[in-house]
Every structure is written in C-alpha cells, then in structure tokens.
Amino acid sequence: MQIVEAAITTIADVGCHKASFAKIAERAGLSSTSRISYHFAGRDDLIREVVGEVLSMIGGFVGERMAAASGPADALGLYIRATVAFIAGHRQEMKALLEIFLAGGFRYDAENEAQVVSPLEGILQQGQQEGAFRPFDTRVMATLIQRAVDGLPFMLAADPDLDTGSFADEVAATFDRATRA
C-alpha cells in the first residue's frame, strides 16, 4: 500500500516522532492527510500496520530461502543468512522498524518473543532429535541466535558500510560450532 510504503520511508528518514501524517502524505504524493485518516484510525494504527508489513516481509523472505533446507544444520545456516540478507537489502524498512521500536511504538512482549523464537526452537529441537545438534536448552540457544541477527540494524546504523556477508558467515559459523553434536 502506497501509504504504508511512504510511512516506512518517512519514519526511516526523519524518525518516528517526526513522521507526521503531513510528511507521510507528502511522501506518498497525496494532496492531504484525509486519505491516511480514511484508511487508518490514527497514528498508532498506521504504526501497527508498518510493523506488521515489515515483519511479514521478513517472514516471507526468510521462509522462501529456508524452503530448500536439507536438514536442521542447513536450515539454521539458511535462517541466519536469509535474515542477514533481508536486513542488508531492506535498510529503510529495518531503520523504520528500529525507529518505531526505540520510540516505544512497538511493544515487544512474551507473545512476540514466542513468535520470533519458536521457529528457531523447532529447528534446534529437530536437530537434537536427529542427532545433528548437541544437547542444550533450545529456548536459550534460539534466543541467542535471534539476538545476534537482531543486533545487525544497530551495527549498520553505526557502520553503514559493514560487510554483511562476512557478518552472516561469522554468525552462521559461530552457531554451527555452538550447536554441532
């Protein structure tokens, strides 16, 4: 949707607090904010839609790349590399998400945590059942892996020229060694 895309780029460019409906309407090429108000009950509604859109994009991107996994160890490496590739290739979206998070517009709770970490936990549990991974607490390991890739947007904010391919390789190698049987 044109409004959501405009909101993403506006938030990424000026920050969440300064991303007014007027600035978003201007970016979307709208003559007034009335079209935004027609589609969204308010600012919080639009912010929720932006967060939902970006999270949906991440899920689709990573899911497509993981479909080719040949086993749990491969799935883990693909998950890490795909997540890093999304972050590297969608910097505006990630910057907007980061801005929203830092502004308190995205409330990360236990339910969100479970949704984010449970696919990784599933990969790790399968790997343990198949003997590919050593025994460890899958919730702790899944959280460590997720936090490692979640930190990349912060690193890119500080160093936009960071070699994300090397980052992905290092994180994947680290967790390959950490999980391997």
Cα–Cα distance for residue pair 156/99, rounded to 1 Å? 13
Alpha-carbon span 160 to 126, nearest angstrom? 36
CB contact at 8 A, 152 and 172: no
Q: Show the tokens assigned to 143.
A: 């959280």
Nearest-angstrom CA–CA distance, 9 and 167: 25
Report pLDDT for 109.
72
Contact 140, 97 (CB under 8 A): no
The per-residue pLDDT for 46 is: 95
Q: Report pLDDT for 121.
A: 94
Residue ranges per structural domain of the chain: 2-179
Return the pLDDT at 105.
81
Task: Note whether 94 and 58 are within 8 A (CB).
Answer: no
pTM for the model: 0.90
Which residue type sits at 152? L
Q: How confident is the chain (181 residues) per 10-residue block, as mean pLDDT?
A: 93 94 93 90 93 92 94 97 97 93 79 81 97 96 95 92 97 98 95
The architecture that CATH gives domain 2-179 is Orthogonal Bundle (1.10)
What's the CA gap between 170 and 66, in Å, rounded?
A: 19
What confidence score (pLDDT) does residue 146 get? 94
